Amino acid sequence: MSLPFTILLPLVFSILSPYFVSLTHSNFARLGITISPTPRPTKKVEASTDYDLKFFYYDQNLDHFTFTPESYKTFQQRYAIDSTHWAGAKANAPILAFLGEESSLEGDLFGVGFFQENGPRLKALLVYIEHRYYGKSMPFGSAKEALKNASTLGYLTAAQALADYAAILLHVKEKYSAKHSPIIVVGASYGGMLAAWFRLKYPHIALGALASSAPLLYFEDTRPKFGYYYIITKVFKETSERCYKTIRTSWDEIDRVAAKSNGLLILSKKFKTCAQLSRSFDIKDFLDSIYAEAVQFNRNPGDWVTTICNAINKNPPNRKNDVLDRILAGVVAYLGNRSCYDTDLFVRPSNISIAWGWQGCTEIVMPIGYDKQDTMFQTAPFNMTSFIDDCKSNYGVSPRPHWITTYFGIQDVKLILRRFGSNIIFSNGLADPYSVAGVLEDVSDSVVAIKTVNGTHSQDLGWSRNEDPEWLVMQRKKETDFIDSWISTSGRTLVSPITIPD
């Protein structure tokens, strides 16, 4: 989920790891975090100021799936509970559980307005669980030990994370004597994928799931027809044809300048880079990341993209025909006027990027490249061979690109969900680049898709604001209507006698 304060590091970073940049595919967007400022809510929200948030640590199993001596080790997994508005166990009041993604817990606590706004209305217990290997939920005692090599990182998988959530949620129900309180799990992005998978894997624990902006189908066996960068191209082109053409032209211009004997020095001065460029790829990667983030977290239609394009379209003084000056104007408009621009801004090493890089190099293998239809960028399709080589070089492992579809059974998602899925909401904004891999059509009466034409990445879970467009208000209402109906039905089944035939 995106943060209102942005320091947890960039949403978009060079592919998978702080140390590793594939020259055949520059980057792909992290699923959760943004470095750009997210507007604070303008509505007064009671839950945002009236809460009783408590932090806890659960003694979690390192390995849920084997019985080797190593598997019996435990680590402290962090979670938080807000019981301010909970009606209590006697009322069988619901539990809303946010399943953490590739970030620390703080991002979920302050970024998920949907929880704080609906908790009081539902009289719900709010639970936030941090994902293993992120934030303070580090196995082996510290991030340094947990992230140091493949042997320690090997316990970082989606299946282990789901089992963690199951253990903590059962613990919470026992702790609060909430045996009959229905649990609704909610997740954003990768967390949305986890929420949907949790409902499928642990239906006896979760009554339902809201999976926001979950790119469930972005895997080798389920590649979408159009890719991530198709949407970025589409949004820029629809915002301004002139801006789109300028960006499209700029890549070749960067290559042309870089080919000169002092070309990298020229580019460094042109873009005011904090350190001299050693290759043209770095400035391209930097620009790519800005454009991708601007689209993915474009909170109001046109906000950040329009800001960039307005600057690009405005001819800079004295250099009316300089394409790169216009591109720099877009950077300044987006990041502010700085003495210099750090092209490593999106790739600086962090614990988050190391852990997420591991997940991308093992099972969350998303084949994101620059295809022919992504016309704002230079064509560079995803190259699995190069990708595998990079993963071996940096993590000492080979990806298993078919494992997620095998384990969770999403090769034919509609057929599979129709057979045994229920009570899942897939919400997507079609202006989100990851929506190309979302579930966009209803599967059944209870596995539903809620999509908005102008919506962006997990926008529905953010704080509501007075200026929210009507379509966003209605999207959230549809989600809460489904959740209300699940809870209501659950309450009726508790008082209805079950007849067992002779």
In tens, the pLDDT along 377-405 reads 999 999 999 999 999 999 999 999 999 99
What average pLDDT does this structure show over 353-360? 96
Q: Are residues 177 and 232 in the same domain?
A: no
Q: Which of 2, 125, 128, 117 is nearest to 49 (CA)?
A: 117
DSSP codes of every residue in 434-452: GGGGS--S--SSSEEEEEE
Q: Is residue 28 part of a domain?
A: no
Residues 118 and 237 placed together within one structural domain of the fold: no
- Concatenated DSSP letters of 113-153: HHHHHHHHHHTPEEEEEPPTTSTT--GGGSHHHHTSSHHHH
| In a shared domain, residues 58 and 188 | yes
* Domain total in the chain: 2
**Boundary-marking domain end, from 290, 312, 335:** 335
Do residue 193 and residue 100 come from a single domain? yes
Query: Distance between CA atoms of 357 and 365, rounded to whole angstroms?
Result: 10
Mean pLDDT of the chain: 88
- Residues 100, 202 share a domain: yes
Tens-place pLDDT, residues 106-142: 878 888 999 999 999 999 999 999 999 999 999 999 9
Here the tokens at position 83 are 């019981």
pLDDT for position 255:
98
Residue 57's DSSP bridge partners are 78
Verify that 144 and 214 share a domain, yes or no. Answer: yes
* Whether the predicted pLDDT of 339 surpasses 50: yes
In this structure, the answer to whether residues 147 and 285 fall within a common structural domain is: no
pLDDT for residue 170 is more than 60: yes
Looking at residue 298, its pLDDT comes to 86
pLDDT number for residue 410: 83
Helix (H, G, I), strand (E, B) or coil at 81: strand
Q: Is residue 23 part of a domain?
A: no
Amino acid at 485: S
Q: What is the pLDDT of residue 302?
A: 57
Nearest CA among 417, 421, 399, 425 for reference residue 477: 425
pLDDT of 313 higher than 60: yes
143-157, 175-189, 209-223, 314-328: least confident range? 314-328
**Mean pLDDT, to the nearest integer, of 140-152?**
97
pTM above 0.95, yes or no: no
- Domain containing residue 442: 46-221+405-493
| CATH code for the domain of 159 | 3.40.50.1820
- 280: tokens are 């043209």
Tokens 């790891």 belong to 17
Long-range CB contacts (within 8 A, 24+) of 171-175? 171/58, 172/79, 172/81, 172/95, 172/125, 172/127, 173/95
Q: Compute and round to an integer the Cα radius of gyration of the chain.
A: 23
Task: Among 335, 360, 378, identify where a domain stops.
Answer: 335
What pLDDT is recorded for position 103?
A: 93
pLDDT score at 291: 97
User: Does a structural domain hold residue 88?
Assistant: yes
- Regarding whether 207 and 241 lie in a shared domain, the answer is no
Judge whether 344 lies within some domain. Answer: no
Residue 358 lies in a domain: no
pLDDT for 337 beyond 70: yes
**Is 206 a member of any domain?**
yes
3-state secondary structure at position 356 = helix
Provide, rounded to the nearest whole percent, the portion of the chain with pLDDT above 90: 77
Provide the annotated active-site residues.
189, 432, 457
List helix spans (H) across 263-350.
Answer: 263-270, 280-296, 303-313, 323-335
SS3 97: strand
Residues 6+ apart with CB under 8 A from 174: none
Residue 366 lies in a domain: no
What stretch of H or E contains 232?
Answer: helix 228-239
Exposure string of 111-127, with b = 16+ CB inside 10 Å and e = fewer, is bbbbbbbbbbebebbbb
Last residue of a domain, one of 292, 318, 335: 335
